[in-house]
Amino acid sequence: MVALVIALALFFDFTNGFHDTANAMATPIATGAIKPKTAVALAAVLNLVGAFLSTEVAKTISGGLIREGSDGIHITPDIIFAGLMGAVLWNMITWLKGLPSSSSHALFGGLIGAAVVGIGFHSINFETVLQKVILPALFAPLIAGLVAYICTRLAYALTSRHDPETGDKLTQKRGGFRTGQIFTSSLVALAHGTNDAQKTMGIITLVLIAGGTQAPGSGPQFWVIAACAFAIAIGTYAGGWRIIRTMGSGLTEVKPAQGFSAETSTASAILASSHLGFALSTTQVASGSVIGSGLGRKGTSVRWGTAGKIALGWLFTLPASAIVGALTALLVSIGVVGVIIAAVVGTSAVLFMFVVSRKSHVGHHNAVEVEEAGHAVRFRKKKKSRKTTPSEDVQR
């Protein structure tokens, strides 16, 4: 059971990685600051580094969501297994739909659902749920969006230049923001590595402690850190192209100055929140930033339909993964047979979604519209011939 949970936890880490590549890398890819493949490679390396950098794990991954200890309620590997199943399946579904949704919320949802079925309603600390999940979900996009809006406005105001006499536009060199984007998006990727890989490490450690193979209260062992770091890095490299597409061009058209503002806001919000104790979801912050930066530039329209779909996805994240978690917990409570059924059903569901995804392939070649890429190429090499062949786009 312990081994099964660890395997599932690592797979969750993998899905987390490829689900969240978009947060850091969608905007630089959209503006052509970094080539798609280079971008995901960079994000993967930074995630890896980030996961190793911060070994100080938030030990209570459930963070008080589930009442532990005094009442004699213990989280068993069974419940963690069920919770992870919920989180993984929801991550896969949202990936298939190309929706950026919070992996942490999926995890919380799964664990809550599993705990309700496995232990009972009294095991859930609803006040903490409200405080840690629902309120941040409302405020993360608001804060990030507002900041990104202000930043975009500032960036454009500061760089706009007109000839005082003729009123003609002077050169603005806004392409310079592309270089900046490389650094800001790297910062987002690094922050993601230090945050999200920790969750899986915490879970595996929790299971090891519950299984009695590790002393209670001790930190994660080295192999756990290494395994998680690699799982999230591989996941990032695999690249959630579908979500990158949504974030990079589905919400609004992204120009370098906008992308720079959005990423700066995202990075600041994540860093500020994780260091001041009001945890915000990386995904929600990033989506909010992109929308905010879209509103900030004149002549850009935000596709509210897509934004609404994303918001709806967030609304469903918690309950949906809770339901899957609860169902899995029911199965697991039957006994060994239930565990096997759950594992088989889970694996086949993942495989099924993977097969479905193949039908409408979204890869690095068509994640963001070629028109944008062509623009980038022209911009960079000034007067050289454009070499973006339209044939790349045919497969879409």
Partner 1 sequence: MKWLELLQVGGVTLVAAVTLVVLYSLGVRLTAIAGDAQQKSPVLVRSLAYVCFAFCAAAVLFGIYLIVPYFGK
Residue numbers of the site for partner 1 (CB under 8 A)? 50, 53-56, 131, 135, 139, 143-144, 146-148, 150-151, 154-155, 158-159, 161, 170-174, 176-177, 180, 183-184, 187, 190-191, 194, 257, 260-261, 264-265, 267-269, 271-278, 280
- Residue 56 or 371 with smaller CB distance to partner 1: 56
Supply the minimum distance, in Å, between the C-beta of residue 139 and partner 1. Answer: 6
Place of tokens 């193949």: 358
Closest distance between partner 1 and the C-beta of residue 344, in Å? 40
Return the SS3 of 169: strand
Q: Which is nearer to partner 1, 180 or 294 (CB)?
A: 180
Q: Cα separation of 55 and 15, whole Å?
A: 21
Q: Which of 328, 337, 393 is nearest to 367 (CA)?
A: 393
Q: What are phi and psi of 75, to 5 degrees?
A: -75, 120
Of 15 and 185, which CB lies nearer to partner 1 in the complex structure?
185
Minimum CB separation from partner 1 for residue 155, in Å? 5
- Measured over the CA atoms of residue 150, residue 24, residue 223 and residue 68, the dihedral's sign is positive
Q: In the complex with partner 1, which residue's Cβ is closer, 23 or 91?
A: 23
3-class DSSP assignment, residue 66: strand
Q: Report whether 91 contacts 84 (CB < 8 A).
A: no
How big is the chain by its Cα radius of gyration, in Å? 22
Nearer to partner 1, 83 or 193 (CB): 193
Q: Contact, 293 vs 261, CB < 8 A?
A: yes
State the minimum distance, in angstroms, from the CB of residue 196 to partner 1. 12
Type of residue numbered 109:
G
* DSSP letter assigned to residue 162: B
Q: Which of 249/266 has CB closer to partner 1?
A: 266
Q: How far is the CB of 278 from partner 1 (least distance, A)?
A: 4
Question: Least CB distance from residue 178 to partner 1, whole Å?
Answer: 10
